[in-house]
Amino acid sequence: MFRSTAVSARHVSRGFAQRRLASTKTVKEVLDEVIPKKQLQLKQLKTEHGQAVLGDVKVEHVVGGMRGLKAMLWEASVLDPNEGIRFHGLTIPDCQNALTAAPGGKEIIAESMFWLLLTGKVPTEAETRQLSRQLAEKGDLPEYIEKLIDSLPPTLHPMTQLGMGVAALNHESKFQEAYERGIKKSEYWTYALEDSLNLLARLPALAARIYRNVYNPGKPIPKINKDLDLVGNYVNMLGYGDNHDLTEYLRLYIAIHGDHEGGNASAHTSHLVGSTLSDPYLSYAAALYALAGPLHGLANQEVLRWQMNMQKELGDDITHENIEDYLWKTLKSGQVVPGYGHGVLRYPDPRFMALQDFCESRPNLLADPIVQLVKKTYEVAPAVLKEHGKTKNPFPNVDAASGCVLYHYGLTEFKYYTVIFGVSRALGCLTQYVWSRALGLPIERPKSLSMDAIEKLIKQ
């Protein structure tokens, strides 16, 4: 197993397992208990510490995309530059040990991660299975959505189609209906939760229908199996239901991609749009269009394309030396090395390491030439990027590994990869939407400045 010394070996407190008490509560019943405590915590923060300083705003923040500026409340996860992502304090290895897998599987399923993100508690197996069945029972698409997606040209980018489908689902919004009817602000979160569960349940069928229409027109789509988890049904509807390893990989991929704090473009977009009290469907549709940009979610397809171009140019006998030459060729041409660097992280992305561990556990996968290339590139690229000197973080992010495994298992359509990312990122964005309504967070409205105004403030 190849792992940076900066990332510690897997260690998990036994206390996490002990927290999985015998319980069969619904996710709403758990939130009914948790939300009042969080509301009190927020009230105390505002009244007792409202004037506490968290950091200074500098000109580089204003002109540099607000990078690193501490200016958002996001409950489910915190991203540390050195340690990576934590979900309510749990690392990815912690989650892999504590959260429920599918029957017959080993990887986290989306429902168990969603429960943790939403409640801050590790669900019991019974609670996870209950949520899986609840989502499966809600998972069928309305007929008008099927007709909408079927009417779109197959040349339209899959992410564009996904955003259109999600936005159109707001015809079903219980939150919008309740708001128009006139409800108390204290009740917003219950309707936000209902919409969020309905949207999460329907994303696999929507994403699978887009895949069928673009890549396998006319092929029947299997019906939702009420006994399968969310990702199990998704893979089955994609047409790969008999591939256990791909199903397990996508369970891991979707769970660990589910949230990555609130500052990334898609999460921030969903939070901003949601702060206007647009319903969860419109909020998440906006997030998807942020995710579709090449500097964000579209990067995973760009990484695999770059890796395959390298493989084509270098041939079958790929060494560390000719990988190093190819990296320098890329950098000297003025391009970046895709899959390396991160806006926050300064060490290898723990999500990248989790996907590499998945490859290490499967000899057939590890023997794949493109998977081997990813491994060898990781062994060479950080030193090259350090010597180049223009990259703050010379280590791989999750995009460096995510696409090659999909390609190995036959999911070779690059343009579709970001749709899978879109299905996963709903876990965190919808979680925060519920919490934003529960905590009564206001509309987001930062102050903007012109360059002349900035210069005037500096002189003063």
The 3-state secondary structure of 135-183, one letter per residue: HHHCCCCCHHHHHHHHHCCCCCCHHHHHHHHHHHHHHHCHHHHHHHHCC
Q: Which residue has the tokens 């405590």?
A: 37
Which of 260, 268, 342, 408 is the catalytic position? 342
Reported pTM: 0.91
Look at residue 22 in the predicted model and tell me its pLDDT: 57
The H-assigned helical ranges of 361-448 are 363-366, 369-388, 399-408, 417-438
What is the DSSP code string of 287-318? HHHHHTSTTTTTHHHHHHHHHHHHHHHH-S--
Q: Among this protein's residues, is 452 annotated catalytic? A: no
CATH class for domain 299-408?
mainly alpha
**Euclidean distance between CA atoms 265 and 259, whole angstroms:** 12
Instruction: Report phi then psi at 234, rounded to 5.
Output: -60, -50
* Residue 225 burial class via C-beta count within 10 angstroms: exposed 0-12, middle 13-18, buried 19 and up: middle
Look at residue 1 in the predicted model and tell me its pLDDT: 35
Look at residue 136 in the predicted model and tell me its pLDDT: 98
- The candidate with the shortest Cα–Cα distance to 224, out of 254, 203, 243, 247, is 203
**Euclidean distance between CA atoms 264 and 261, whole angstroms:** 7
User: SS3 breakdown of the chain: % helix, strand, coil, rounded to 5?
Assistant: 60, 5, 35
Amino acid (one-letter) located at 392: K
**Euclidean distance between CA atoms 116 and 122, whole angstroms:** 5
Which of 260, 296, 349, 408 is the catalytic position? 296
Structure tokens at 136: 């499966």
Name the CA dihedral angle for 168, 274, 427, 36, rounded to a multiple of 10 degrees.
-130
Look at residue 396 in the predicted model and tell me its pLDDT: 87
Under 8 Å between Cβ of 98 and 92? no
H or E segment to which residue 236 belongs: helix 230-238
**Euclidean distance between CA atoms 76 and 113, whole angstroms:** 10
- The candidate with the shortest Cα–Cα distance to 260, out of 117, 404, 103, is 117
Q: Among this protein's residues, is 171 annotated catalytic? A: no
Q: How far is CA 177 from the centre of its chain?
A: 28
pLDDT values of the chain reduced to their tens digit, one per residue, 460 residues: 344 433 333 344 434 444 444 578 999 999 999 999 999 999 999 999 999 999 889 999 898 889 888 899 999 999 988 888 999 999 999 999 999 999 999 999 999 999 999 999 999 999 999 999 999 999 999 999 999 999 999 999 999 999 999 999 999 999 999 999 999 999 999 999 999 999 999 999 999 999 999 999 999 999 999 999 999 999 999 999 999 999 999 999 999 999 999 999 999 999 999 999 999 999 999 999 999 998 888 777 888 889 999 999 988 778 999 999 999 999 999 888 888 877 777 778 899 999 999 999 999 998 999 999 999 999 999 999 989 987 777 888 888 888 999 999 999 998 999 999 999 999 999 999 999 999 999 999 999 999 999 999 999 8
Look at residue 276 in the predicted model and tell me its pLDDT: 98
Name the CA dihedral angle for 274, 280, 286, 289, rounded to a multiple of 10 degrees.
140
* Strands 84-87 and 77-80, sheet pairing: antiparallel
Domain spans in the chain, listed from the N-terminal domain onward: 299-408
What is the DSSP code string of 60-123? HHHHTTTTT-------SEEEETTTEEEETTB-HHHHHHHSPBPTT--SB-HHHHHHHHHHSSPP
The residues with which 78 forms a beta bridge, in sequence order, are 86
Q: Among this protein's residues, is 399 annotated catalytic? A: yes
3-state secondary structure at position 396 = strand
Which of 229, 279, 349, 399 is the catalytic position? 399
Under 8 Å between Cβ of 278 and 344? no
